[in-house]
Amino acid sequence: MLALGGLLITLLLLRMSIPLAHRFSLVAIPGQHRRHQGNIPLTGGIAMSAGAALTLLMIGHLPGAGIAGAVILLLVIGVVDDRFSIPYWIRFLFQIIAVLLIIWIDNVRLVDLGKTFSIETTNLGNYSVALTVFAGVGVINAINMIDGMDGLAGSLVLVCLLSIFALLIFSGSEGIDLVVVLSTAVVGFLGFNLRAIHHRGAKLFMGDAGSMVLGIVLAWLLIRHSQGARASFAPVVALWILAIPLFDTVGVLLRRSMRRGSPFRADWMHTHHLLMRLGLDVNQSLALIVSAAALLAVAGIVLFLKGTPENYLFYLFLGLFAGYIFLMEIGEYFLRRREAQLDGDDD
């Protein structure tokens, strides 16, 4: 009943947000890196957040003042960015403040990194706040930067939430209701965002407001449940749960820097861009990326539950990331050769 109730509330708010988006010009206009047709409302993130919040209030589940404040802060700055487009450093500043809120108010922070690097636990000590801010801002931007194709960010976030749900079930930890409510809100949004449902394209986008909120919520959940004596999983497992968003974001930043370009300048180097340039359509690219994300998340969880040493999981993760970079570079190489041949044929 909780899942159904949350879903119905979110669907209603999502539908109501569409005319409001047009009224207040909160829409995505085609052009530059946006290839959709028509002006698409950017209110999906607002409606998802409101739907989840109302459902949690109805069941009396209040997760924490810090995360609530962080969500509101990022919603506001996200809406402003969606409407007027603000410089990236301003977004970074508000993201840092949002992470500090969950540290100072909810006391949700990275205290240790588990046995990620060796057989000994790596305690963070005085570096706790700085590394929590770094990790939190990293997760926010990983979700924000991968939000470039219908259904992609929402589907990947859903994979992460379902992975956390499974780990909470296995460990017998609390907080399952919150993950269920968040998952149903994302499912409701995907009903308006998946091209497999709306063949001409998404009816609704989550906008920067939605992607940043989902990012801070994921960071809060992953940090909260991977720290302390009652942790549900080791910190390294969070890397596997977030594997594809992390691979894509860090990979793009590295590859842009290798080409001596700005790491923050938009281009066509994301995973989904490469797949579509290779000839896959939106739904095929989405299915491939989400399947890979689910496979990596399941692999990380299973290996952890079977007792694989945490440092082995970390080094295996790094090896997979290196393989990802290699495949992206190979794909880029063949694309450039093909494009050069086509240019030669035109001459």
Q: In the chain, how long is the greatest CA-to-CA distance? A: 68
User: What pLDDT, on a 0 to 100 scale, did the predictor assign at position 131?
Assistant: 97
pLDDT value at position 61?
83
Distances (CA, A) of 289 to 135, 150, 239, 286, 331: 23, 12, 16, 5, 15
Amino acid 341: pLDDT: 74
Q: Looking at 35-49, 109-123, 225-239, 279-293, which range is the least confident one?
A: 35-49
Q: What confidence category does residue 332 fall into, taking pLDDT thresholds of 50, 70 and 90?
A: confident
| pLDDT(30) > 80 | no
When divided into structural domains, the chain yields a total of: 1
Section 131-136 average pLDDT: 98
Q: What is residue 267's predicted lDDT score, i.e. its pLDDT?
A: 63
- In which domain, by residue range, is 193 found? 2-346
Residue range 273-290: mean pLDDT, rounded: 92
How big is the CA angle at 246 (ends 116 and 101), to the nearest 5 degrees? 80
pLDDT at 118: 87
Q: What percent of the chain has pLDDT over 90?
A: 73
- Residue 173 has which token pair? 């930890």
Query: Over 70: is that where the pLDDT of 347 sits?
Result: no
Mean pLDDT across the stretch 1-23? 91
Residue 178, C-beta contacts closer than 8 angstroms, at least 6 positions apart: 56, 61, 63, 221
For residue 264, give Cα distances in angstroms to 87, 120, 243.
11, 36, 20
Considering the chain, what percentage of its residues have pLDDT values greater than 70? 93
**pLDDT at residue number 14:** 96
pLDDT tens digits for 60-109? Answer: 888 889 999 999 999 999 999 999 989 989 999 999 999 999 999 999 99
pLDDT at 264 over 70: no
| Helix 282-305 with 310-346: angle, nearest 10 deg | 160
pLDDT of residue 215: 97
Of 201 and 236, the structure prediction assigns the larger pLDDT to 236
Residue 307's H or E segment, with its range, is: none
Q: What is the pLDDT of residues 148-194, one digit of tens each?
A: 899 999 999 999 999 999 999 999 888 899 999 999 999 999 999 99
pLDDT band for position 337 (cuts 50, 70, 90): confident
Q: Identify the band that residue 277 occupies on the pLDDT scale cut at 50, 70 and 90.
A: confident
Query: In the predicted model, is pLDDT for residue 346 greater than 60?
Result: no
What is the reported pTM? 0.93
Task: Report the interhelical angle of 2-23 vs 176-193 (nearest 10°).
Answer: 40
